[in-house]
Homo-oligomer: A and B are copies of this chain.
Amino acid sequence: MTDRPPLSRRNTRTVIAGSVSLGGGAPVAVQSMTNTDPHNPAATLQQISRLAAAGAELVRVAVPDAAAAEVLEQLCLQSSVPLVADIHFDHRLALAAIAAGVAKVRINPGNIGSRRRVREVASAARDAGVPIRIGVNAGSLPRDIREEYGVSARAMVETALREIGTLDDVGFSDVVLSLKASDVSTTVEANEQISGRVDIPLHLGVTEAGAKWRGTIKSSVGLGYLLGRGIGDTIRISLTGDPVDEVRTAWEILAAWGLRRRGPDIVSCPTCGRCRVNMAEIVEQVEQGLVDCSEPITVAVMGCEVNGPGEAREADVGLACGEGVGLLMRDGEVVEKVTEDEMVDSLLQLVRSYLTRDCPSP
């Protein structure tokens, strides 16, 4: 229903991570990270599989030591989505991860010591066709840059340029870049600045955004803003808790802009003094009934006669409630009048019949 032109996205070069293209006009990819014990392949694979089922297209796994690196090969073989190794300081872990078959490595070359080590990692990555993500984090900037620029967007950009330069020096440019701060303004400013200076695909995230509720808001504001400005090629939402929530939130942010959609959009009114039905309960039941639906469908659940019919008319399928009764609508036409008791079941049935006709599951 929008006449806003599709978001025009900044040009970036294409980087390939396993089966996933990042940048160069590819769809914004959704990623997440496991928080299971990386030495426990069963638990980690189970979480990867839950993340993939929720829509994660890339999953990152921390590789804190050699034992975790040894588990990686099994993870890579059994995961249905490409895996990214998260490595700090120890270049041998990067080499082991590449050998294990990861699709991408997140490592900061400035952290791993000598130029010889950087060259070794870059050479292994090049041979394996594995890109490297440079991850600049406001919480761990090089001391000299921090002293010169403070902890700031500028300092993050300078750090990124230095890291890019370190890989450039050894002839490696198959990189993705992230600049993350735990506050939205700094994250936005750093990404705006860097996107004007390099054509490297950008991985977006507000780091340490917090627990589910607060982290969802910070990420939605920050990543939503950048995506709205055409910036960002892959996103990861950071939430303290079950990472499946990160994936669901990422998809919902992309859907909000119409960039991508997975699963239903349920439009429902906040209710007001005019509402005569228990909307919160009805919407909750509809949400629950559609929790496993990955089809893009717009469902309106409206509580009164003022905005109800209008919104329900614009949706694929809608329910406009009055006192004790509801009008079921499909493609803007009323199809049935139902009682309050029947509303939820009838609406879910209408959704199913709509999807069966129009959008058969792949």
A residues in contact (CB < 8 Å) with B: 1-4, 33-38, 44, 61-64, 68, 86, 88, 137-141, 149-154, 181-186, 188-189, 207-211, 213-218, 220-222, 224-225, 228, 238-241, 243, 246, 249, 252-253, 256-258, 265-275, 279-280, 283-284, 287, 300-302, 306-308, 310-311, 313-314
Contact = CB atoms under 8 A, between A and B. Distances in A.
A240 B2 contact: no
Contacts of A301: 240
Contact of A35 (B63, B241, B275, B283): B275
A310 B150 CA distance: 12
A158 to B, nearest CB: 12
Given A3-B189, A222-B256, A267 B182 contact: yes
Given A4-B185, A307-B140, A208 B240 contact: no
B1 A249 contact: no
A307 B257 contact: no
B35 A184 contact: no
Question: Sorted from nearest, which 10 A-B pairs have the closest CB atoms?
Answer: A139-B310, A221-B224, A62-B273, A220-B220, A38-B273, A4-B189, A3-B152, A238-B270, A139-B311, A221-B256
Nearest to A137: B307
Residue with the greatest number of chain B CB neighbours at <10 A, chosen from A270, A310, A314? A270
B243 A208 contact: no
Residue with the greatest number of chain B CB neighbours at <10 A, chosen from A4, A63, A274? A4
Given A189-B2, A257-B185, A273 B37 contact: yes
Contacts of A269: 207-208, 238, 240
Given A185-B2, A186-B2, A270 B35 contact: yes
- State the oligomeric state as a number of copies: 2
Contacts of A209: 267, 270
Nearest to A308: B139
Contact of A4 (B1, B153, B208, B313): B153
A241 to B, nearest CB: 5
Contacts of A183: 1-2, 256, 258, 265
B273 A307 contact: no
A252 to B, nearest CB: 4
A189 to B, nearest CB: 4
Given A182-B267, A272-B33, A256 B208 contact: no
